[in-house]
């Protein structure tokens, strides 16, 4: 793979220019003549029966044009995958505060809000469950759908990994750790809130511009709930202002609402959320309670892990079956064990709801297991980094799932790199010698991670791209996967430029559009570089064949005799012909100047009952070290430094990869230190950025990043992935650093001032009132 021209070379993001000029149009920036503004009536109760819903008064409000409820859809607007427990608008019951009940379209946003207020909606409160530990009580009120297998309706699933018998093994271990860890809900806090714009078509269909991740899912859902065939529903993803897993299910409901309103009003309808509405209505990272037992020998060899946990999905299952499964696969960390079991149970409650968020279960379990690993190292009086080096997975190891790792395992190199970069050995020594009376104490902590690439055994894993040369010789690419800020468009561009041997400037990537792109599954699981990247590679290779034939024909030689000099082609006669001439000749020869590329991930299998198999075809690895300064008087923790080295396979777009790394770390730092979307009795306690704090430029340290390129043979040019795993180890590295600084361990995230200072929480100031007001005024 010598002499790569574009892959791994300095490059700039292809969509940055419009963004720095303020020209990029997000959904909220779009307006078209005749457009109506929509607003949704949302539940003010965490669990209630809808006893009366009369929308006719809303239609009397001046300016209101149309109102829709679940009755306006096929099958009451039921949708959802893998469990169909959601509705575009609530049907019979509401299960969380913020759930949509009816939507209004009006000439102005003010009139739409007046319309919402005019709707007569009588809710009869039902008993609710807020504590996941009581979700499965025999007398717990039913939240989930009816089931026929005799299981509790609030039960979503059980996700196991089984290797041997750790219970017995733990009895034989020299040292055993038995601890509980807890994580709380995290808000995605994408800067652009949710939104959608629906435009009715003359044929009776609808086009929806939707800020989302995976356009084919809402397209297919809309067909179902609107009763329209595929050719009548088109979803286009405009530029998206951040998502991090967060713009799926809830915004599919937005799509349903604006589409139904547009069809009814026969006019375009746009809905955008205020920040308050976004935080109240949207799904979060779910909370988790873990119990981890680890066993090791005196010499520091890990022997056994027994992991049990409960995961709260809130009112809807959303992606939680998949999140929980991914959590189960990663719960024991990137280590070797003789015996290891994982049991995760996932339940419904009336606490908001949980869905996909960067790291997708791994972020949660990593914060537990990586603290437990540190606690074990402490107990054994071993250096925690050394302890990880001794036990971490390497090529040739078999994981606790029973998977042989035959290539691309760079964890050891990542650990060695952060050890060196952070001056770990010296700092551990120095910090151990701080004066016990010092008010400000320094600490340094490490965390490792592995993260399965793409969907894994969660589902069918393939992607298709198209590539085409147009009359003006511009090259365009389509992919069914979305760039919601990640840099994927640039990755596709560089891959296609490399294969075709042309300047990246010639290439343009279309917005994902269900009418032009091919369904490639969801844009999740950090799968875009491998899946879409590979499909673009294949498409470009297919197109290249035709161009090579044309060049050979033009140069009167065989294809193998054709070479490239820059963009130009050269044959045995040493005569140069330009790429444009070759394209022109291909056109004259009648060759097709467009191509498909499909790539399917290697076959893998997971046995859900036995808890064994090959969960993922490849893994990302990484290690981060955090250095903190804790003020023991105030509880304030300053993260002074972070060193992060990740094995992402071949780096395709370095600047973008660093951007993902830094950005991921900021989510992890927030998760570790401040972010807690706390709910009291079903009401979110923070509903805007004044109380839900995300890291600012002052909270973030200067980060030193690096990459280990343990290439993956099936990846495009050897690439794996980065987006999600960048955030996964940050919080536990910080928590381990705080423990190193203070000698006190905080086993419940986040390590905010109170927890660091007092070891407990203060009562919160939010109230049901603020949620109710926010749903009716802002």
Query: In the complex, which residues of this chain contact another protein (CB under 8 A)?
Result: 12-13, 15-26, 28-29, 31, 188-193, 239-244, 274-275, 484-487, 655-656, 658-659, 661-667, 688-690, 694-698, 700, 702-703, 778
CA angle 157, 160, 161 (to 5 degrees): 160
- Least separation in angstroms between CB 142 and ligand FES: 40
Judged by beta carbon, residue 337 or residue 484, the one nearer ligand FES is: 484
**Minimal CB distance residue for ligand FES:** 191
- Binding partner of residue 432 among another protein, ligand FES, none, CB cut-off 5 to 8 Å per kind: none
Q: Is 16 in the site for ligand FES (CB under 6 A)?
A: no
Judged by beta carbon, residue 372 or residue 703, the one nearer ligand FES is: 703
Judged by beta carbon, residue 77 or residue 666, the one nearer ligand FES is: 666
Judged by beta carbon, residue 191 or residue 230, the one nearer ligand FES is: 191
- Least separation in angstroms between CB 112 and another protein: 14
- Tell me which DSSP letter residue 101 carries: E
User: Strands 155-163 and 576-577: what pairing?
Assistant: unpaired
Residue with tokens 């949980």: 354
**Distance (Å, rounded) from C-alpha 285 to C-alpha 596?**
36
Other beta carbons less than 10 A from residue 563's beta carbon: 12
3-class SS string, 373-414: HHHHHHHCCCCHHHHHHHHECCCCCECCCCCECCCCCCHHHH
User: What are the helix (H) ranges across 22-159?
Assistant: 56-60, 109-118
Judged by beta carbon, residue 400 or residue 485, the one nearer ligand FES is: 485
Judged by beta carbon, residue 274 or residue 541, the one nearer ligand FES is: 274
Task: With beta carbons less than 8 A apart as the criterion, state whether 648 and 715 touch.
Answer: no
Q: Is 191 in the site for ligand FES (CB under 6 A)?
A: yes
- For 448, residues 6+ apart whose C-beta sits below 8 A from its C-beta are 333, 334, 370, 373, 388, 392, 411, 414, 415, 621, 622, 623, 729
- Least separation in angstroms between CB 663 and ligand FES: 8
- Binding partner of residue 189 among ligand FES, another protein, none, CB cut-off 5 to 8 Å per kind: another protein
Four-CA torsion 337, 338, 339, 344, nearest 10 degrees: 20
**Distance (Å, rounded) from C-alpha 665 to C-alpha 316?**
29
- For 77, residues 6+ apart whose C-beta sits below 8 A from its C-beta are 70, 87, 88, 89, 91, 225, 256
- Binding partner of residue 193 among another protein, ligand FES, none, CB cut-off 5 to 8 Å per kind: another protein
- Least separation in angstroms between CB 574 and ligand FES: 48
- Binding partner of residue 117 among another protein, ligand FES, none, CB cut-off 5 to 8 Å per kind: none
* DSSP helix/strand/coil, 182: strand
- Binding partner of residue 438 among another protein, ligand FES, none, CB cut-off 5 to 8 Å per kind: none
C-alpha distances in angstroms, 56 versus 7, 69, 91? 59, 12, 18
- Binding partner of residue 462 among another protein, ligand FES, none, CB cut-off 5 to 8 Å per kind: none
- Binding partner of residue 332 among ligand FES, another protein, none, CB cut-off 5 to 8 Å per kind: none
Judged by beta carbon, residue 245 or residue 456, the one nearer another protein is: 245
Judged by beta carbon, residue 242 or residue 635, the one nearer ligand FES is: 242
Judged by beta carbon, residue 188 or residue 219, the one nearer another protein is: 188
How is residue 677 written in tokens? 């979307």
- Least separation in angstroms between CB 692 and another protein: 9
- Binding partner of residue 568 among another protein, ligand FES, none, CB cut-off 5 to 8 Å per kind: none
**Distance (Å, rounded) from C-alpha 216 to C-alpha 281?**
23
- Least separation in angstroms between CB 189 and another protein: 5
Adjacency order of strands within the sheet including 619-631: 440-452, 619-631, 637-647, 702-708
- Least separation in angstroms between CB 381 and ligand FES: 44
Judged by beta carbon, residue 456 or residue 656, the one nearer another protein is: 656
Judged by beta carbon, residue 29 or residue 629, the one nearer another protein is: 29
C-alpha distances in angstroms, 724 versus 364, 451, 615, 688? 12, 8, 17, 24
**Distance (Å, rounded) from C-alpha 71 to C-alpha 77?**
8
Among the listed residues 80, 82, 109, 242, the single contact to ligand FES using CB under 6 A:
242
- Least separation in angstroms between CB 566 and ligand FES: 34
**Distance (Å, rounded) from C-alpha 391 to C-alpha 384?**
11
- Binding partner of residue 665 among ligand FES, another protein, none, CB cut-off 5 to 8 Å per kind: another protein
- Least separation in angstroms between CB 760 and another protein: 28
Site residue total, ligand FES (CB under 6 A) = 3
**Distance (Å, rounded) from C-alpha 237 to C-alpha 220?**
15
Judged by beta carbon, residue 255 or residue 726, the one nearer another protein is: 726
- Least separation in angstroms between CB 485 and another protein: 3
Q: Is 274 in the site for ligand FES (CB under 6 A)?
A: no
Judged by beta carbon, residue 17 or residue 191, the one nearer ligand FES is: 191
Judged by beta carbon, residue 353 or residue 671, the one nearer ligand FES is: 671
Task: Compute and round to an integer the Cα radius of gyration of the chain.
Answer: 27
- Least separation in angstroms between CB 187 and ligand FES: 14
- Least separation in angstroms between CB 777 and ligand FES: 16
DSSP sequence for 545-573: HHHHHHHHHHHTS-GGG-EEETTEEE-TT
* DSSP helix/strand/coil, 333: coil
694-725 burial, b for 16+ CB within 10 Å, e for fewer? bbeeeebbebebebbbbbbebbbbbbbbbbbb
- Least separation in angstroms between CB 664 and ligand FES: 13
- Binding partner of residue 29 among ligand FES, another protein, none, CB cut-off 5 to 8 Å per kind: another protein
Q: Where in 493-592 does DSSP place strands (E)?
A: 507-509, 563-565, 568-570, 576-577
- Least separation in angstroms between CB 146 and ligand FES: 42
- Binding partner of residue 611 among another protein, ligand FES, none, CB cut-off 5 to 8 Å per kind: none
Q: Is 485 in the site for ligand FES (CB under 6 A)?
A: yes
How is residue 465 written in tokens? 């791209």
Contacts with ligand FES by CB under 6 A lie at 191, 242, 485
């Amino acid at each position: 793979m010598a002499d790569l021209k574009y892959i791994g070379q300095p490059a700039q993001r292809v969509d940055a220019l419009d963004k720095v000029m303020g020209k990029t149009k997000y959904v909220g920036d779009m307006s078209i003549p005749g457009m109506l503004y929509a607003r949704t009536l949302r539940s003010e109760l965490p669990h209630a029966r809808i006893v009366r819903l009369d929308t006719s008064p809303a239609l009397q409000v001046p300016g209101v044009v149309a109102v829709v409820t679940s009755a306006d859809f096929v099958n009451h607007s039921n949708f959802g995958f893998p469990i169909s427990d959601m509705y575009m608008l609530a049907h019979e019951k509401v299960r969380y505060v913020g759930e949509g009940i009816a939507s209004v379209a009006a000439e102005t946003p003010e009139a739409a809000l007046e319309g919402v207020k005019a709707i007569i909606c009588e809710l009869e409160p039902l008993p609710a469950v807020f504590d996941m530990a009581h979700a499965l009580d025999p007398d717990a009120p039913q939240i989930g759908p009816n089931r026929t297998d005799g299981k509790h309706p609030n039960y979503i699933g059980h996700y196991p990994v089984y290797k041997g018998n750790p219970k017995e093994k733990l009895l034989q271990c020299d040292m055993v750790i038995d601890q509980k860890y807890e994580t709380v809900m995290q808000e995605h806090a994408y800067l652009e809130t949710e939104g959608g714009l629906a435009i009715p078509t003359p044929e009776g269909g609808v086009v929806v511009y939707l800020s989302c991740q995976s356009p084919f899912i809402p397209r297919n859902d809309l067909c179902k709930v609107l009763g329209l065939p595929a050719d009548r529903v088109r979803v286009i993803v405009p530029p998206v202002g951040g998502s991090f897993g967060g713009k799926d299910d809830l915004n599919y409901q937005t799509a349903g609402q604006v589409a139904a309103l547009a069809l009814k009003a026969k006019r375009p309808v746009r809905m955008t959320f205020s920040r308050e509405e976004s935080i109240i209505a949207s799904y979060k990272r779910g909370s988790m309670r873990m119990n981890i037992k680890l066993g090791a020998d005196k010499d520091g060899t890990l022997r056994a892990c027994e992991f049990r946990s409960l995961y709260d999905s809130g009112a809807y299952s959303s992606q939680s079956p998949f999140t929980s499964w991914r959590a189960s696969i990663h719960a024991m960390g990137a280590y070797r064990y003789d015996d290891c079991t994982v049991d995760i149970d996932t339940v419904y409650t009336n606490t908001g709801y949980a869905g996909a968020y960067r790291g997708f279960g791994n972020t949660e379990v990593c914060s537990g297991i990586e603290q437990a690993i540190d606690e074990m190292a402490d107990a054994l009086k071993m250096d925690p980094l050394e302890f990880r080096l001794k036990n971490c997975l390497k090529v040739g190891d078999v994981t606790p799932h029973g998977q042989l790792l035959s290539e691309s395992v760079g964890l050891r190199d990542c650990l060695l790199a952060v050890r060196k970069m952070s001056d770990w050995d010296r700092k551990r020594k120095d910090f151990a010698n701080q004066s016990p009376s010092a008010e400000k104490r320094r600490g340094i902590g490490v965390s490792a991670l592995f993260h399965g690439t793409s969907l894994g055994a969660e589902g069918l894993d393939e992607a298709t791209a198209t590539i085409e040369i147009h009359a003006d010789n511009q090259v365009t690419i389509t992919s069914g996967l979305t760039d919601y800020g990640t840099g994927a468009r640039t990755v596709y561009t560089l891959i296609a430029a490399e294969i075709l041997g042309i300047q990246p400037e010639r290439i343009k990537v279309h917005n994902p559009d269900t009418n032009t792109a091919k369904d490639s599954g969801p844009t999740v699981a950090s799968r875009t570089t491998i899946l879409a990247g590979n499909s673009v590679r294949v498409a470009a290779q297919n197109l290249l064949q035709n161009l090579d034939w044309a060049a050979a024909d033009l140069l009167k030689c065989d294809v193998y005799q054709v070479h490239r000099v820059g963009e130009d082609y050269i044959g045995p006669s040493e005569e140069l012909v330009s790429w444009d001439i070759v394209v022109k000749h291909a056109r004259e020869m009648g060759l097709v100047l467009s191509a498909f590329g499909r790539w399917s991930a290697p076959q893998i299998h997971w046995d859900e009952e036995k808890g064994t198999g090959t969960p993922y075809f490849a893994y990302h690895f990484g290690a981060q070290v955090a250095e903190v300064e804790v003020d023991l008087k105030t509880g304030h923790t300053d993260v002074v430094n972070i060193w992060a080295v990740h094995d992402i396979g071949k780096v395709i777009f370095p600047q973008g990869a660093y951007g993902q790394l830094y950005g991921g770390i900021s989510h992890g730092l927030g998760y570790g230190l401040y972010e807690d979307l706390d709910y009291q009795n079903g009401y979110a306690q923070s509903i805007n950025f004044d109380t839900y704090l995300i890291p600012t430029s002052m909270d973030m340290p200067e980060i030193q990043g690096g990459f280990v390129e343990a290439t993956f043979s099936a990846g495009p040019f050897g690439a794996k992935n980065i987006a999600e795993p960048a955030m996964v180890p940050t919080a536990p590295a910080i928590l381990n650093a705080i423990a190193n600084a203070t000698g006190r361990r905080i086993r419940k995230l986040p390590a905010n001032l109170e927890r660091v200072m007092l070891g407990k929480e203060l009562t919160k100031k939010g109230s049901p009132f603020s949620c109710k007001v926010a749903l009716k005024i802002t």
